[in-house]
Structure 1
Amino acid sequence: MINKRTAMMGAATLCSALAIGLFMQKTAEHPQRGASASVAVSVAADDAPLEIEAISLTAATPDTTVPEPARQDPAAPCDMSVEAIATPMAEVRLTVLSLCRPEERLTIHHNGMMFSTRLDATGALTVQVPALSETAVFIVEPQNGRGAVATASVPDLDLVNRVVLQWGGNSGFELHAREFGAAYGSAGHVWRGSDLTSGRGSVVQLGDENQLAPRLAEVYSVPRLGGSKTGAIDLTVETEVTAINCGRDISAQTLELRDGTLRTRDLTLAMPDCAATGDFLVLNNLLETLKIAGN
């Protein structure tokens, strides 16, 4: 949870020349605004006795030969099967099986969204993926060899609004939603570190952040209609200044699914120098506010 924030206002520029609000915040229990500064923005025995004669002694030499591990023949086929099944809230359960690729890295592609993960020790993977199209096509790309494709029909896609933030490497990006005027840390502040019951929507992270150069995605999903609350949902993209990303440019991309239309934006952010490590940059105007109506 973000415990302390000190906001830093700066000039923001997207690759598409979009101006955005940019604030730096210290980690705090509640965010507090501070001084402004300029910051550029451009995943058996026998009982009978035995007589022994002519005994000679020799020194035993242990066998130190290490057997080579079994190797997969590069010419041998290595099949992969992928199954996609639609589930409630416009999501898809993706199941991947490739017995000859235990623990191999995979990259999963879907409608412009991309994240990297890994098969388990048996060569299997099951992951729940928020869909971005009614005919949801998933491409599973292994590190070596041929991949596979699976498709699922998602009939309830029009019942949700969905926002994706995706990036490569350990850039520290986060997607935050503050529903119906909620403050940071209160009920209605929804992000990957919040409780699943904290708001009307939810944020899930896709990808294995422990990989080398991972590709990661965070997805915020919220029902378009129904519920006891209506109004605006404020969305922000945030990133912590760390020893990994300080003093360098980092990039991300957003995909916004609103009323059945998918829009994409690219972002390049010039991070402050390492003296600001521990601070947070908050991009307030990158994502359009969501409007939620009643039944």
Structure 2
Amino acid sequence: MIKVSTIAIAGGTLVMAAAIGVFMQTGQQDTSSFAPATPVETETLSNLPKDAQTPGSIQETPVQLAAITLTSSDVTRLPDTMTKAAQFPLTPILVATGDEDMLEAGNDTAASDATEPLSEPRAEQGCFVDLAGETRAAAMVALKLSAPCQPNARVVFHHEGMKFTSATDDEGYVQVLVPALAEQAAFLAMMDDGNGAAVEVEVGSLSFYDRSIVQWRGDAGVSIHALEFGADYKDAGHVWAGAPRDAKIAAVGEGGFVTRLGDTSIDGANMADVYTFPTGTAKASGDVQMSVEVEVTELNCGREVTAEVLQVSDAVVSEPSLLSVTVPDCDAVGDFLLLKNLVDDLKIASRS
């Protein structure tokens, strides 16, 4: 069964942040959290005494305060007219009246209009942000973000501590296929202006898959690699972003695949590699050797690179592990740094 719920977020006020496990990065590494928000009544005058003065006839006479005495009243002896429940509306409302309304006795229409509840604030017509999600094979979720008033705008997706950056197209839409990291998968999309939307999708098949995630920011040259069942580099069983495979191979239990998330054309984008293996439906037995590698490039040589590693097993996501490494100088461009033991190897038992 697929269970989906959505919520729109305006002005950066979030209620789902705790469920989503937001992992924020600013500069090299940063964390941020999102937080939650409470109203009054007035009484209109319908009839004034006959000798009441209009504002124009009231003389402005200066008043000098000689002394102020603070007093309190016994609230237990209030007149009945002030304590009857019928005198108070069920929902607090804010009423505004002008001079003409106050001075026009018996004007029921004006009084009625003045007591109409204020409407809820909302975005400009059609300028909403909406996020929809649907499950796909191999415990994947297809997300579609609609922001018709924000074409070609940067958007950051958050899910269970994973974070990646994308951008809307010319019409304000973006679609992305994301590996779920929780059975009750909550996704949050945030725009640069503080508006956003969230959706929760039930992914019941996640327990059949193991996932390994490495995420970073910008041109760090990081990638995740899997060598399945004794494969060597560049063999058919070497799975990485350069040879990612399709999710369908995992859906039928024949091997794993890699999903790269994030838009490399966006400066300083949050990126992620996710390796998925069908542990619960595998047709072969053996080991899958996992590693994280950093390619030395002209953009990262001689710099410190940071990344974060997450793992999902039995539909439970691990606590993040931080990776920090200094990349060799630029005369090593083209080489790779092999970082083992950051991601656990997988021991697979055949289920066929």
TM-score under structure 2 normalisation?
0.61
- Report Cα offsets for 1:104-139 as digits up to 9, x if no partner: 000000000000000111111111100000110011
Residue 282 of structure 1 corresponds to 338
Q: Give the Cα separation in 2 of the matches to 1:239 and 1:220.
A: 16
Q: Give the Cα separation in 2 of the matches to 1:206 and 1:83.
A: 18
How far residue 225 of structure 1 moved from its aligned partner, in angstroms, is 2.7
How far residue 248 of structure 1 moved from its aligned partner, in angstroms, is 1.3
Q: Secondary structure at the match of 1:89?
A: helix
Q: How many pairs does the alignment contain?
A: 221
Aligned positions of 1:1-295 closer than 5 A: 76=124, 78-194=127-243, 196=245, 200-263=255-318, 264-295=320-351
Structure number with the higher helix fraction is 2
Q: Secondary structure at the match of 2:277?
A: strand
How far residue 169 of structure 1 moved from its aligned partner, in angstroms, is 0.8
Q: Secondary structure at the match of 2:138?
A: coil
Q: Give the Cα separation in 1 of the matches to 2:273 and 2:267.
A: 18
Structure (1 or 2) with the larger CA radius of gyration: 2
How far residue 246 of structure 1 moved from its aligned partner, in angstroms, is 1.0
Q: Give the Cα separation in 2 of the matches to 1:202 and 1:148.
A: 29
The answer to whether the Cα contact below 8 Å between 1:226 and 1:293 also exists between their aligned partners in 2 is no
The answer to whether the Cα contact below 8 Å between 2:181 and 2:316 also exists between their aligned partners in 1 is no
- Report Cα offsets for 1:213-251 as digits up to 9, x if no partner: 111001100101334311110011011111111111110
The worse-fitting range, judged by mean Cα deviation, of 194-203 and 93-102 is 194-203
The worse-fitting range, judged by mean Cα deviation, of 222-231 and 146-155 is 222-231
Gaps of 5+ in 1: 1-74
TM-score under structure 1 normalisation?
0.72
The answer to whether the Cα contact below 8 Å between 1:135 and 1:154 also exists between their aligned partners in 2 is yes
How far residue 76 of structure 1 moved from its aligned partner, in angstroms, is 4.3
Output the amino acid matched with 2:347: K
The answer to whether the Cα contact below 8 Å between 1:97 and 1:125 also exists between their aligned partners in 2 is yes
The worse-fitting range, judged by mean Cα deviation, of 155-164 and 140-149 is 140-149
Structure number with the higher strand fraction is 1
The answer to whether the Cα contact below 8 Å between 1:180 and 1:188 also exists between their aligned partners in 2 is yes
- Give the 4+ runs in structure 1 shifted more than 6 A: none
Output the amino acid matched with 2:167: R
Residue 13 of structure 2 corresponds to none
The answer to whether the Cα contact below 8 Å between 2:307 and 2:324 also exists between their aligned partners in 1 is yes
Q: Give the Cα separation in 1 of the matches to 2:330 and 2:175.
A: 39
Gaps of 5+ in 2: 1-122
Q: Secondary structure at the match of 2:207?
A: helix
- Report Cα offsets for 1:36-92 as digits up to 9, x if no partner: xxxxxxxxxxxxxxxxxxxxxxxxxxxxxxxxxxxxxxx846310111111221111
Using CA pairs below 8 Å that are at least 6 residues apart, which structure has the higher relative contact order? 1
